[in-house]
C-alpha cells in the first residue's frame, strides 16, 4: 500500500455528529481496553480531543478498508488467471510457464 488517508471535516458538529463521534471513540476504547496489554484509550474530554480522536479512528478505518479492497482485487485477478489457465491449451500453458521462468 503506497497511499495514506488524511481525513478532515468542515463545519460545526451538531448533536448527532458529536453522538456519532463519541460512539465511535467509546467502541474503539472498549476494544483497546480488551487488548492484552490494554491499549491507550482515545481522549474525548474536549472538542479538540473529540475531533482529533474521531478523525484518527476514521483514518485508520479508511486504511483498513483500502487494504481490504487491495486484497479483494488481487483475489479477483487470481480467480481470473485460474479461469484463463483452465481454458488454455497445453501449448498456451507451456508458453505462459516459459514466460514466467525466463
Q: Over 80: is that where the pLDDT of 77 sits?
A: no
Mean pLDDT within 11-27: 97
Q: Over 90: is that where the pLDDT of 94 sits?
A: no
pTM score, whole prediction: 0.71
Mean pLDDT within 42-58: 97
pLDDT of residue 67: 92
CA distance 52 to 50: 6
pLDDT bin (cut points 50, 70, 90) of residue 101 is confident
Q: Over 90: is that where the pLDDT of 80 sits?
A: no
Amino acid at each position: 500500500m503506497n497511499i495514506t488517508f488524511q481525513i478532515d471535516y468542515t463545519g460545526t458538529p451538531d448533536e448527532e455528529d458529536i453522538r456519532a463521534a463519541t460512539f465511535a471513540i467509546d467502541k474503539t476504547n472498549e476494544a483497546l481496553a480488551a487488548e492484552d496489554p490494554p491499549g491507550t484509550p482515545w481522549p474525548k474530554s474536549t472538542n479538540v480531543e473529540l475531533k482529533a480522536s474521531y478523525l484518527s479512528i476514521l483514518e485508520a478505518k479508511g486504511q483498513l478498508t483500502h487494504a481490504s479492497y487491495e486484497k479483494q482485487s488481487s483475489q479477483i485477478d487470481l480467480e481470473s488467471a485460474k479461469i484463463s489457465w483452465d481454458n488454455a491449451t497445453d501449448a498456451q500453458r507451456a508458453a505462459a510457464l516459459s514466460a514466467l521462468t525466463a
